[in-house]
A and B are shown apart, each in its own frame.
Chain A
Amino acid sequence: MPYGGPLPRAILTVSALTALLRTHIESVFSDVWVEGEVSNLRVPSSGHAYFTLKDQASQIRAVLFRSIGQALRFALKDGMRLVCRGRVTVYEPRGDYQVVVEYAEPKGIGALQLAFEQLKERLAAEGLFDPARKRALPNFPRRIGVVTSPTGAAIRDIIQVLHKRFPAVDILINPVTVQGTGAAAEIAQAIAELNELGGSDVLIVGRGGGSLEDLWPFNEEIVARAIAASRIPVVSAVGHEIDFTIADFVADVRAPTPSAAAELVVRDRKEIRIQVQGLRERAAHAVRTGLRDRRRRVDAERRSLADPAALVERAMQRRDDLEIRLRLALVARVRDVRAAVEALRHDVLLQSPLHGIRQKLALVPHVRMRLEQRIQIALALWRRSVQDAAEMLHSLSPLAILGRGYSITRRWPDLTLLRAASDVAPGEAVHVRLASGELVCEVRRVGENLQPG
């Protein structure tokens, strides 16, 4: 073969060359850091993530195996800027080289922060933070379930506050580890256990403050889902005031600290004491007012049903009084008329000249007769109105009561009003006033339901 010299031609197979490249590349690039943008991300059912890392000019294939991906806590997304650490391998069937990612973090923002944002967004989209899902806390829980560390400050604070505010409440602790691997699963399980066990009216889930890393279990999906699935209302109590966790968003009520959670779940007994005392005072006031109103009503009725004898006496007196006034008025009237007649007669006598005296004198009896007629008419009218007034008075007066068959019985002769048969003894005399007339009777028997004979 015309090929310049006897140099032995070392001809490699494709596989051999690929194997050589692979060995070389994998030993040289066994631990590299690379930064680029994720694109063409594909995650088949195996859970491994295949993507391309690229910058303006170049690109390189990358794979993130499932086990590593899960540990990352955040999810890869196309367009994400990623800093990766890994090794370069060659995929022999295709002669491709690729970065096998062993660690990755998002560029710029911390991995945890990103994971937090991603989970928050996802759960929010699912509606887990929906205010409509939030349940009201019970007014007076009898037992409070607490998911926290049994040795932390949180449980100490919670017990102390509960004891101070409302001692008559029981606490059931389901102890968990609150940080590190496995904590989230423990917390989620503890929430589920308290639900299964029953008897708790509200749950407090939390821990004292710490670094974002320390609080992490409360940002994990498994905890969020356990809280969402809890039939018992959950108060989250993670950290110190400013740290918000995913658990806070899912919980029915978020308390900034464990102490605050304890304050939220029970009302202050001082407050309740004031409420109870207020209710008692209102009850007493209502009863007092009711009694006073009733007494007033009874008094008014009693007054209107006053002693009939007194009524009769008063009415008689008024009638007598009226009669006297009428009589006086009549007398005065008659006197006035008489005076008028006298005046007239006087006038007539004065006016008449001597020559007409006889004629005028003849008129006098006539005038006098007419005047007397008028007096009679006036008197009749007055008598009539006196009669009418008396009748009206009678119809209005308690005397009418006597007209219906009642009588007023008084001891004779002192006229003390009698209300009970026992006020007199046989042999004593009584005075009975009837509608018409009066009787003085002797008492023969005293008692109740007396029969004749």
Chain B
Amino acid sequence: MATVKFEEALARLEAIVAELERGELPLDDSMRIFEEGVKLSKNCLKILEDAEHRVEILVKDKDGKKRARPFDLEGGAGSGENGGEDEA
């Protein structure tokens, strides 16, 4: 998800900077990857500010299989206490 993109974006950004610092690219290629780098860095910073994250807990369903449910820190499992227990 976002963090995978983040890691790739950061790696690409590092590669772009290295390429630009080598200074061997033709001008238009430099400008092109520079713009790409600016875009990437903006995306990275945006992901960093992104406050959205999922917290889930595995809860055993009626069929005995565990499934992820939203987890609420205050109330324990979102749909029931003590995730892992069966629920009606």
Contacts and interface: CB of A to CB of B under 8 A. Distances in A.
A279 interface: yes
B41 A140 contact: no
A150 B56 CA distance: 11
Contacts of B16: 283
B57 A279 contact: no
Of the four ranges (under 10, 10 to 19, 20 to 34, 35 or more), the interface on chain B belongs to: 35 or more
A174 B44 CA distance: 30
How many interface residues does chain A have, given as a range?
Answer: 35 or more
B53 A283 contact: no
Given A150-B57, A167-B52, A293 B23 contact: yes
Interface in A156-171: 156, 159, 162-163, 166-171
Contacts of B17: 279, 282-283, 286
Contact of A279 (B14, B23, B52): B14
A277 interface: yes
A171 B31 contact: no
Contact of A168 (B50, B57, B58): B50
B41 A163 contact: no
Contacts of B51: 167
Given A159-B55, A173-B55, A151 B82 contact: yes
Given A163-B53, A170-B1, A276-B41, A175 B84 contact: yes
Contacts of A279: 13-14, 17, 37, 41
Contact of B4 (A142, A176, A272, A289): A142
Contacts of A197: 58, 66
Nearest to B41: A280
A139 interface: yes
Nearest to B47: A168
Given A168-B1, A169-B53, 13 more contacts: A140-B3, A142-B4, A156-B73, A167-B50, A169-B3, A171-B54, A173-B55, A175-B57, A276-B41, A276-B44, A280-B37, A282-B20, A286-B17
18 contacts: A150-B57, A150-B84, A159-B73, A167-B50, A168-B53, A172-B57, A173-B56, A173-B58, A174-B58, A175-B82, A280-B13, A283-B16, A283-B34, A286-B17, A286-B23, A289-B23, A290-B23, A294-B27
**9 nearest A-B pairs in the assembled complex, by CB-CB distance:** A286-B20, A142-B3, A140-B7, A173-B57, A280-B41, A175-B83, A170-B54, A269-B48, A171-B55
Interface of A: 139-142, 150-151, 155-156, 159, 162-163, 166-176, 193, 197, 269, 272-273, 275-277, 279-280, 282-284, 286-287, 289-291, 293-294
